[in-house]
Amino acid sequence: MFEDFFKVVKHRFNGGEEEETVPSFKCPRCQGVVSLERYEDMIRVCPNCNYHGRLTARERIAVTFDKDSFEEFDSSMISCDPISFPEYPEKQEELREATGLNDAIVTGTALIKGHKAVVGVMDSRYMMASMGSVVGEKIARAFEYATENNLPVIMFTASGGARMQEGIVSLMQMAKTSGAVKLHSDNGGLYITVLTDPTTGGVTASFASLGDIIIAEPKILIGFAGRRVIESTMKQRLPEDFQLAEFMQEKGFVDMIVERKKMRVTLASLLAMHTQEEKEV
Amino acid sequence: MENNKTAWERLALVHTKGRPTVRDYIPLIFTDFHELHGDRYYGDDHAIIGGIARLDGRPVTVIAQVKGRDLNENKDCNFAMPLPEGYRKALRLAKQAEKFHRPVICFIDTPGAYAGMAAEERGQGEAIAKNIAEFMTLRTPVISIVLGEGGSGGALALGVCDELAMLENAQYSVVSPRGFASILWKDASREEEACNIMQVTADDMVRLGVAETIIEEPLGGAHNDLDKISENIREYLSLKIEEKCQKDIDELLKARYTKYRKIGEFTE
């Protein structure tokens, strides 16, 4: 009886809504809470503020490329332990199990509305998509393949930066990837970067910033140094929109901000303007 | 060479007051140094200096990160933490060197690129990325030397080269030991432990394929004999610049790309 009474009071208190624990999503940008189902229905876009949330590499491939067109490169490549960092191999083992990935990037070729491109998609679930030997090698190979075959490259970036556990070897991946991008560019190849949440550190300071066209998803984080690091050096609060895609576009580092639902058609249109046939006209 | 020091002890040497900076070395290694200022877009960063000079009579371009020798100098050069305009000045001077067929000599000595609002707003990431990519195909020989600290991407922006040398006690790392401890263990106070496991010494760099040469320091460190260490650096540069200038530029570029292409450890 008492339980019923509480139910009635609760019911009135909540303005008629049943208080059930529906799985919810709290937006890191606007702090608004929506049901997880609604957020998922919108392909992980916050309905309140348009923050574009994180997708796994496989999900990104599914929503962006032509059905069944993705052909993967180097799927079995796994990292060694170049500086013998304690528990690094075990940590990777666990992550491979948990994510079904072998490292933080998936590369291959795919079609977008029939246009072929070499593609790379980073996945932040794997050690915050930090760049170590495998990420560096797969990106370099992807660009080299694209250069040899005169194909455009599209990279969906997301990363916390260098893979600390690989020490200086991870830093050198910035040189390896940027070098491969440069040779592809010098060969006349098109490179489109799509910055997704979050793109930071050594990835921002290498291949992510080298696109001919740099696209960002709305409200995502883009930066070199982390917000906390900057706040501690400057000893002051930073503006709310600092390092968001819109801020970086205003400062001149992002060509276009494209919503997820329009990404496919935008990429297809850009690719179409850079095909061989049109170049020869 | 002194082989019995830990990485942490070497870092202490690098931080010793009185350790020579590039401002000490330039007059002892080069003649006719003319400093050239500014990136032509925004300003003149004092954490990176550059200019033209002669090495054994041959014109060369010198680009260097500058540490201060006292607090006033450090305030002026922002503790050798460059802003984007510093990297853009470096690239401007490198392209100028390419135009006039001068070899480029870079001196690396930075705790890292500056982390601040101004740096972010002006594209620190883009500036570093651009340098890395452009130096990879710069059609003139490039030699880099790490004098003290080679901190992260901020160092690599002057570190894509045909050959990298390390002063005996110098270090090169993906992040400072303090940053490493703070990121991986959430405990910055474990920096000594971090420093010793990160593999940051000159020997480590040669073993990992990052550096080719170690330049010997006088007993106890570079600050104990400025003339001697300057002479060691000058001798190394004379030899290497002559050697690289003899090579066909396309072969040099191929070897430069291959050097970085090979670094990484994975299995398939």
Q: Check pLDDT > 80 for residue A4.
A: no
pLDDT-based confidence at residue A147 (cuts at 50, 70, 90): very high
**Domain residue ranges in chain A:** 22-51, 55-280
Minimal CA separation from A24 to chain B, in Å: 29
Q: Which tokens hold the place of B86?
A: 């510093």
Verify whether the Cβ–Cβ distance A253 to B123 is below 8 Å.
Answer: yes
Minimal CA separation from A77 to chain B, in Å: 4
Verify whether the Cβ–Cβ distance B152 to A134 is below 8 Å.
Answer: no
Minimal CA separation from A109 to chain B, in Å: 19
- Is A265's Cβ below 8 Å from some Cβ in B? no
**What are the backbone dihedrals phi and psi of residue B142, each rounded to the nearest 5 degrees, phi first?**
-130, 125
Q: Please write the tens of the pLDDT for every residue from A176-207.
A: 999 999 999 999 999 999 999 999 999 999 99
- Is B120's Cβ below 8 Å from some Cβ in A? yes
Interface mutation vs chain A, best among B203, B260, B262, B267, most A CBs within 10 Å: B260
* Nearest residue of chain B to residue A237 (CA atoms): B117
Q: Which tokens hold the place of B60?
A: 């060369």
Average pLDDT, chain A: 91
CA–CA distance, A257 with A261 (Å, rounded to integer): 12
pLDDT value of residue A159: 97
- Is B237's Cβ below 8 Å from some Cβ in A? no
Considering CB atoms only, which of A85, A169, A181 is closest to B264?
A: A169
Q: Check pLDDT > 80 for residue A277.
A: no
Residue B172: list chain A partners with CB under 8 A.
168
Q: Which tokens hold the place of B64?
A: 């260097």
CA–CA distance, A211 with A200 (Å, rounded to integer): 15
Cα–Cα distance list, B33 to A82, A137, B42, B76, B144 (Å): 41, 41, 24, 21, 18
Verify whether the Cβ–Cβ distance A209 to B126 is below 8 Å.
Answer: yes
Instruction: For residue B171, list its beta bridge partners.
Output: B149
* Nearest residue of chain B to residue A81 (CA atoms): B265
Interface list for B 45-104 with A (CB within 8 A): none
Residue B153: list chain A partners with CB under 8 A.
162, 171, 174, 201-202, 205-206, 224
pLDDT value of residue B64: 98
Minimal CA separation from A172 to chain B, in Å: 7
Verify whether the Cβ–Cβ distance A186 to B137 is below 8 Å.
Answer: yes
* Residue A236: count of CB within 10 angstroms of its CB: 8
Q: Please write the tens of the pLDDT for every residue from A81-106.
A: 999 999 999 999 999 999 999 999 99
pLDDT value of residue A1: 44
Torsion angle of the four alpha carbons B117, B123, B129, B131, in this order, in degrees rounded to the nearest 10: -100
- Is A225's Cβ below 8 Å from some Cβ in B? yes
Instruction: Provide CATH code, domain A55-280.
Output: 3.90.226.10
- Is A153's Cβ below 8 Å from some Cβ in B? no
pLDDT-based confidence at residue A20 (cuts at 50, 70, 90): low
Considering CB atoms only, which of B130, B136, B153 is closest to A179?
A: B136
Question: pLDDT in tens for each of the 268 residues of chain B?
Answer: 777 899 999 999 999 999 999 999 999 999 999 999 999 999 999 999 999 999 999 999 999 999 999 999 999 999 999 999 999 999 999 999 999 999 999 999 999 999 999 999 999 999 999 999 999 999 999 999 999 999 999 999 999 999 999 999 999 999 999 889 988 888 889 999 999 999 999 999 999 999 999 999 999 999 999 999 999 999 999 999 999 999 999 999 999 999 999 999 999 9
H helices of chain A, where?
2-13, 36-41, 57-64, 88-99, 133-148, 167-186, 201-204, 227-234, 245-250, 260-272, 276-280
Residue A134: list chain B partners with CB under 8 A.
264, 266
Verify whether the Cβ–Cβ distance B174 to A170 is below 8 Å.
Answer: yes
pLDDT value of residue A276: 64
Q: Check pLDDT > 60 for residue A16.
A: no
Q: Do the Cβ atoms of B149 and B171 come closer than 8 Å?
A: yes
Ramachandran region, residue B32 (left: φ > 0; alpha: ψ -120 to 50; beta: rest):
left
Residue B113: list chain A partners with CB under 8 A.
205, 224-225
pLDDT value of residue A281: 43
Minimal CA separation from A258 to chain B, in Å: 20
Verify whether the Cβ–Cβ distance A208 to B129 is below 8 Å.
Answer: yes
Verify whether the Cβ–Cβ distance A225 to B124 is below 8 Å.
Answer: yes
pLDDT-based confidence at residue A21 (cuts at 50, 70, 90): confident
- Is B125's Cβ below 8 Å from some Cβ in A? yes
- Is B268's Cβ below 8 Å from some Cβ in A? yes
Give this prediction's pTM: 0.94
- Is B197's Cβ below 8 Å from some Cβ in A? yes
Interface list for A 31-90 with B (CB within 8 A): 74, 76-86
Query: Terminal CA-to-CA distance of chain A, rounded, Å?
Result: 82
